[in-house]
Structures are given as C-alpha cells and as structure tokens.
Structure 1
Amino acid sequence: MDADDSEYWNTTQVKAFSFDDDILTTQEILAIGQRANLSSSQSDSEGFLSSGAAKPLLPLSSLVSPKVLDLILLAQSGKDPPSKQPKLADSEETVSITLKRLVLGRPCSLHTHRSLKSKTELLDGAVAIGDGNCIISVVLFLIQTLNKKLVYELLSARPTALRHYVSFLQSEGKITELTDLLTMLGRSPEAAMYQYQHHVRAQGNNVDGLLRKLNNLLSNHFNQPGIDVNQAKIVTNYIKFLEWQKCAAVTALSNKSVMECLSHCCAHHWTETAGKIMSPLTLSQQQQITPLQYDWVVLNVHAKLKNWEIVESIFTRKDWFGRSTVSSHIPLTMVIARLHELGSSRRLIATFVNKISNTDEKLQIATHFKVHSVVIETLAKQKDRQGLVNYKMALNPQSEEYILAENTLRTPSIKWKN
C-alpha cells in the first residue's frame, strides 16, 4: 500500500455502519451516500480552486436504483429475499428488538405485538432483564390492550412484575387501581392497609374528614372475618388518637405523632392527673405507649427543660430500708449517657452512676464520663493506691477533685493493697 492509500484510510470522513445493528432503510443508505458526495464535493472544491476545473457531482440515486440498494442491503444482511423470508411480526427476534429499544430509551411501538403469545414474551423478557421502567411500560401496555383480569393473572404468576406495578400504583397515588388489583388477587387486607396509609397521607389538617374515612374503612374492611387483628388494632388506635387531638383542640399538635403529643403533655400538663384529657398518663394509657417509650420521652422533655429535680424524683425510688434505687425501664447506662449529653449536673450523673452494681462497670462508666468523685471513691473501696495516684496525676492541680484524691490517699483508715 503506497502513501496515498494510507493517507486515504486515515483521513476518510465516511462513517462505517454495522449490519449487526437494527436494519437500515433505503432512505438511510441514500443519506449516507449523500454525505459521502458532500464530503467529496468539498474536496473537489478545493481542487477546483487549484486546478480551475470543476468535477460534476452525481447523486447516488442516479447511479443505483432504490430496488438495487434494497437487494444490496439484503445480501449484506445474509437474509433470504422477501418472498422466502418468514414474517417476524410475533417472532422472538421482534420481541428482543422491542425490549432493546425500551431499555435504551429509543422510540418503539408496542402495538405491533398483537398476539397474547407475543405480549407474554414481552413481559417475561422485561422481567428477565430486570429493568423497572421496562417492566412498567410493558405492564401498562398490557393493561391497555388486554382484559384486566387476564393481566392480573399474568402478574400473579410473575412476582417481580407484580411488585414493580404495585410500587408504581402506590407512588402515583392510584389507590383505586391498586385496591382493585390486590382485591382480585385475594389480598384484601393488604389493599385495606394501602387505603389506610393513603387516607392518612392525603387528608392534611382535616381531622373530621379523616375520621369519617377511617371509620368507614374500619367498618367495611377491618371488621371483616379473616382480617389481621394487629392491623385492625392499628386503625382503631389511630382513630382514638384523632379523637383525642380533636378534643385537645391544640393547633400546634395538628399532624403530630403520638410521641410528639406526649412530649407536649409532659412539658405543659405534667401535673394533671390521669383521666384528664391532657394528662401524659391518659394519652399513654389510651395509645398503649410502652413503659420504655414513656420513660424515654419524660427523660428527654424534663432534661431539656433543666428540670433536674423532676428527673431525679421520677427515676429514683426509696426501698423498704430507705435506700435510694433507680427505677427506670431504660438501661441505666443509656440514662447516664443521655443526661451527660443534655448537660446534667455532675451530682445527678454521680447519683445514677453510683447505682451501678457491678464495680468494674461503674469504674469504667465513671471514668468515661469524668465523674471524678465516683472514680476516686471506687478506687478507694478497691484499696487501689497506685490506680488512685495515676488518676490524680491526670486531674487539674488544685481542683476540687485533685484535693479530694489527695485527701483520700492520706486517709489512715484505708489499708492499701499496693
């Protein structure tokens, strides 16, 4: 190959195409020929300027007829002539091309698939690919062109497609279609729960309207035989909660959760006794709030308000011998950590740390939260002189804790073990 040939192959602007892609039409072939002629004309124009002679340009269609182009294209594709080639309307190859275009986002017409076999193959192919958008496009096409009952039967046999379609209906807020689908599939309790969730999300501040819808839903769906008792209990409790909000008539509590309303009652109606509408105990009993949840809300509310005396009185009790003990459904270490995080006094934290029965755990927690008085006292009880000396060296000289450590080391009644 000489230099001229090499330069041609390196510089040509004619774009090659692959017959492995979708079949090109005659118009596309002509367009390629016209681009080639245009490129050639630009090159010839430059030659004209230098030589002063113009070369005549002929369109590709004048050299080769469209019929011949079709035959060339057919020969290159390796397929039989049209008279011998079988129709591909419902073939596997047509389904694969359609799915390919759907996945790549290319325009395509699903309506070329008219037979049930072809439509079923489309759905199975979309499920096999696993592309959610592709699955939804096929399912919506089936909904448009097939009997709805037949589509639901196809979806029930394909859990992946059904799951995508249920999520689509839920995200689009098409609660009627979703309810019909699940009911026809024998999943009425699930359909009722979707209706419940939809009403709660969509109702806004209209408590009366939401109460009316939920009461109807409770009587028509959740009170029927076979319904999950726990689901019915959820709806019943929420109706009671809405009735409580309506009686409370506090604008700030609109659209608030049960825990947020309990926090409000603890902060503003702490002294009200059980039985009164705004009493924390009344709301807690009505909504079946667990003791752990109740203690956690009370701890956070009063600690944030710096009501340390209330916190201490709630979580400490006197036993039969007059000794103070911790009474909380929250693990003691969590109470200490939360009090420290919310800026509780050292004295109150020390009170709770001292209630830890395990000595090693108490020393570890006291050291972590720098409750120096408890650390010094615990080391003294262990008669660990060396440990106390080392701890004293880490304290700020002349501080109250430093002086306490020094005085403890000088106590003659302690018989140190080291």
Structure 2
Amino acid sequence: MSLFYLMLQRPGKESQDDQEEYWMKSAANKNKFNIFDDDVTVETAEELAKSKKLLTQCDDVDLVNWDDTPVSSAISDDIHQGVSARVSFTPSRESSVPSIQYSKSQERLHTITQTTRDLRLEDAISGYKPAASGARNQEEEIQYLRRALKKAKELNFSPDDTIRRMMLGEPYSLEVFHSKEEKLQLLDKAIQVHDGNAITAVILFLRQTVKPSLFNLELQRRPVAVSHYVSYLRAHYDFKELGNVLGMLNRTEEAAILKYRQAISAPDVRGKMSALRGCLKAHFLPEPDLTHEANLVEQHASLLERQWPIEDADSKSEAQGNLVFKQYPRKVSILNMPLITTLYYNCFYHGRDAENLLTSPLAIKTQHQLSDKQYIWTALSARSRLKQWNGIEELLTAKGWFGNTKNVSVIGFDKVCEILHRTSAPDEILSKYLRLIDGSERRLNLAKKYKCHDVVVETLVHLRDRAELQVYASKLSPGSRGLKTAQDALRSSTIKWKT
C-alpha cells in the first residue's frame, strides 16, 4: 500500500487504541523517530521542519511511516531541502493524527517514464511547467498524465519519420526498433535519402544491437553503408576494426597498406623493424597482386636494419673524438632517413669502405637497386663537398678498349659542373669538366655563367666569332688572365675568323 494512499485514509476511533499500542511499542525502539507521533504538536512539527532538526540527528535515527517502514529517500530529501516537500498539519475532527501533503514531481516523472518506455523524456514532458506556489490537486495531476500518455502513443515511430527527425535535428529514438526487419528498413531509408550522418548513426546502432555475423552480412549487401562505416572507423582511428572490415570485404590492398602505416608509426626503431617484417609476411607476400609493394616494404625493412648498426657505431666513434666527425659534425641521426640520404651519408663519412661492409655506398647501390645516375649524382655531391677532387676523377673515369681510360658521366658534364660550382670548386677543376661538355653553345653559356674566362675564349675561338670575343674582352678586368688570353687570341694570325 503506497504512502499516498495511506495519507488519504482517515483513521477512526475504533483503531485509535490499536494505533496507540502500536506506537508505544515502536517508541521502545530508540533508533526510530516518528513524525506522526501524538506527542508532536503542530507547532513542534513545523519548528522541526523549518530548523531541519529531523535530519541533524545522529546517523542511527530513522524516519518511519504508518506501517513502521522507513520514509522514502525522495521525501527525506524534500524535507532536507525544504523545497519539494510542503508539510502542513491539519487537526482532524476524528483523530489528532496529522495529515501530510507533498509534491508529486517524483511520482510524475516515474509514471511518465514507465508509460512512454523508449520515448525520449523531452517528448513526454514537453510543455510542463511546475506551479510557482501552491500544489496541484489530484485531478489536475491525473489529467496531465493522461495527456502525456496520449501524446506519447500518438507519436509516429516509423522509419520514415525517424529519419526525417534525424535530418531535421529533432529528438528521435532508435531503441523503439526491435526487429531485424525494422532496423534494416531504417538503414535502407537512410541510404535512400543520402544523409551521411543518419547512415552512420543507424550503422552504429545496428552494430550494437545485432549479431556480428548478421551485421557483417547485411553491411556487405550495401556498398554505400560500407563506405560510410569505413570512413567512420578511419576518422576515429579504430584501426583494429577497420582492418577486420577490410579483410571481410576482401579489400586486401587497403588492409595491407593500413597495416603498413601502423607498422611505420611505431616510435621505437627496433619495434618498427619487427612490425614491418610481420606486416610483410602476413599481408604482402601472400598476395600475388602486391608483389611490387612487397618489394618496397622489404627494402624499407632492410634499410632500417642497415641504419641501426651504422648509427650505433658512428655515435660511439663521434663520442671518442673521430677527426672526420669533428671536422664535419653530424647534424641529425641517420635513423629513419630516406634511402638517398642514407647513401649520401655513407658516401660522405664512409666513401672508401669496402663493398662487403654495411657502410659501403656500393653495397647500398647494389642491395637497393639504385641506378647509376642516382649513385653518381649522390657520390659526386658528397666528394665535392669534401674537396676530394681525385675522388671525383675516379667516379668520372671509365676504362675503354685496350686499357685506355676516358672521362664519362651518366648525368652529363653540365650537371657535373653545376655540382662543382655549387661547392666552390677551383677554376682549373671546373674548367676541366666544362671543356668536356658537348655542344659549343651550351658550353659557352655555362662558361660565361660560371665565369671561366679561359673556356669562354677557347669556345669563341672555336666558333671563330671575333666580334663576340672583342665584346667579351671589353668586359674583363684590366690585367686579368682572361683578358690576356683574349688579347692573344685576337692578335693571332693563325685563326681564321668568320667574316
């Protein structure tokens, strides 16, 4: 029997004696305090309610109802706050037992929640405004609850209306859809209206409420839903689930690339090497269509396995005071550097190492299948910076027939001169390779650009262009070697100039 029902009953005279005996027995329990006791007068009760003395007793004092049960926590809290509960004692003509009237807000919310079930609370109680003063009578409360219940029953929970609410930003609930058919209709409707947010929300609802096997099966039948789900997983960095979905959809290339990205994101170099080897074995090698990609992953792992011992050895050598590292200090670690950068590093610090060593530039060229142009350009840049002009001669010299040697350059001697000029090579070294450039016009333009006057004069003499030589000589500094060479050529009687 509820407390509200008991409060509406007025005890008769025939039950007063029994009640007095009951309360006398209950009074023996010192751990309980009855606010309905006859000894509590109206003034005393009001004073206790105002001063909150009922709640300031020690922890072992309990409040009890008519049937000796504890007062509900909601009423106790209302008495403590002095807001929700309004206690008024009115003397009865038949009994001196007081009556109590309190707010029904807690019961109203509970009733609405039970009657509307999955309906959102905002929909059920929208428009309700509690009275500023006084209390609603029982009839008003009942009428309000009836209207709220009727409104809840009239709401449309069809897939079309739910998707419309989602698109318009109105309150909605997906929990009202219990059967598989209703949930799939909801997903199909979201796909039909092309609303990405609605599609994603319904997919996540399906994932939580159906079996994984059924979810995967229905998802595969809807490519649009798959695209949105994959985008959602990628945006939220749920790589484990994303890998499972891609594997389920037989999108092996995407799954392999995903695992590769996860492997290279490892902060530790040793962990990265291990992850790359595992990724290569599990996702790239078994797929015939990923042979080229598997070769690239293999090279990446091999490069890290080469960089690790080189970095370890060079760090120790630098700490011990190696002269090369003192003259040319290392700016950054070689770990995780690109292949060409690693080649340049080894050409710079280990250019003379034998090919059977990890630090050998030729070993790097061979293992990683670098072209001759890549190797020559990188090695030439390193040796030119080190001012190793003899080393440059070695790179650009090849053996011909009958043991003869000749200067060759797979990158072109114009590129060689560009590298030499950038590293401030001496004029005699730069002029030597300028003379090897095929094409008089190209050689003349570069010689002028790099201010190699001897080569300019030689080229103009070769072109028999006396007028151009005179113009060029007029721009040279008096007493310079270039001016003397130009004047000697202009005074020569053996040169046949163009008319």
TM-score (norm 2): 0.55
Please list the CA deviations of residues 271-326 of structure 1 after superposition, one character each: whole Å capped at 9, or x if unmatched: 11111222111222222222222222212222223333322331244655967423
How far 1:348 sits from its partner (Å)? 2.5
Contact 1:350 1:374 in 2 (8 A): yes
Q: Which residue of structure 2 aligns with residue 197 of structure 1? A: 261
RMSD: 3.6
Contact 1:123 1:139 in 2 (8 A): no
Secondary structure in structure 1 of the residue aligned to 2:407: strand
Distance 1:415 1:325 in 2: 30
Q: Which residue of structure 1 aligns with residue 298 of structure 2? A: 236
One of 135, 139, 146 as aligned partner of 2:200: 139
1:156 matched to 2:223: yes
Please list the CA deviations of residues 121-171 of structure 1 after superposition, one character each: whole Å capped at 9, or x if unmatched: 4346557xxxxxxx477435523435642564366357xx82x76566446
Q: How does 1:173-188 map to 2 (within 5 A)?
A: 173-188=237-252
Please list the CA deviations of residues 237-284 of structure 1 after superposition, one character each: whole Å capped at 9, or x if unmatched: 233223323443345332233223222211221111111222111222
Distance 1:110 1:334 in 2: 70
Tell me the amino acid that sits aligned with residue 277 of structure 1. L
Please list the CA deviations of residues 9-36 of structure 1 after superposition, one character each: whole Å capped at 9, or x if unmatched: xxxxxxxxxxxxxxxx9xx99xxxxxxx
Q: Per the alignment, do residues 223 and 90 of structure 1 end up closer, same or farther by CA in structure 2, a change over 3 Å counting?
A: same
Tell me the amino acid that sits aligned with residue 368 of structure 1. K
Distance 1:305 1:108 in 2: 73
1:245 matched to 2:307: yes
Q: Percent identity?
A: 25
Q: Which residue of structure 2 aligns with residue 38 of structure 1? A: none
Q: Per the alignment, do residues 221 and 318 of structure 1 end up closer, same or farther by CA in structure 2, a change over 3 Å counting?
A: closer
How far 1:332 sits from its partner (Å)? 3.4
Distance 2:279 2:457 in 1: 63
1:376 matched to 2:440: no
Q: How does 1:111-126 map to 2 (within 5 A)?
A: 111=174, 115-123=183-191, 125-126=193-194
1:361 matched to 2:442: yes
Distance 2:417 2:185 in 1: 67
1:283 matched to 2:401: no
Tell me the amino acid that sits aligned with residue 267 of structure 2. G
Contact 1:372 1:401 in 2 (8 A): yes
How far 1:206 sits from its partner (Å)? 3.7
Q: How does 1:42-191 map to 2 (within 5 A)?
A: 90-91=159-160, 95=163, 98-99=166-167, 111=174, 115-123=183-191, 125-126=193-194, 135=196, 138-139=199-200, 141-146=202-207, 148-149=215-216, 152-153=219-220, 156-157=223-224, 162=227, 166=230, 169-170=233-234, 172-191=236-255
1:220 matched to 2:302: no
Distance 2:475 2:427 in 1: 18
Distance 1:136 1:295 in 2: 55
Contact 1:99 1:126 in 2 (8 A): no
Mark the runs of 5 or more structure 2 residues left unpaired by the alignment. 1-122, 128-150, 178-182, 208-213, 316-332
One of 407, 417, 423 as aligned partner of 1:336: 417
TM-score (norm 1): 0.65
Mark the runs of 5 or more structure 1 residues left unpaired by the alignment. 1-24, 30-81, 102-106, 128-134
Distance 2:427 2:198 in 1: 64
Distance 1:263 1:111 in 2: 61
How far 1:384 sits from its partner (Å)? 0.5
Q: Which structure has the highest helix share of the two? A: 1
Q: How does 1:252-401 map to 2 (within 5 A)?
A: 252-317=333-398, 319-320=400-401, 324-328=406-410, 330-401=411-482
Distance 1:226 1:142 in 2: 33
Secondary structure in structure 1 of the residue aligned to 2:288: coil
Contact 1:392 1:402 in 2 (8 A): yes
Contact 2:165 2:171 in 1 (8 A): no
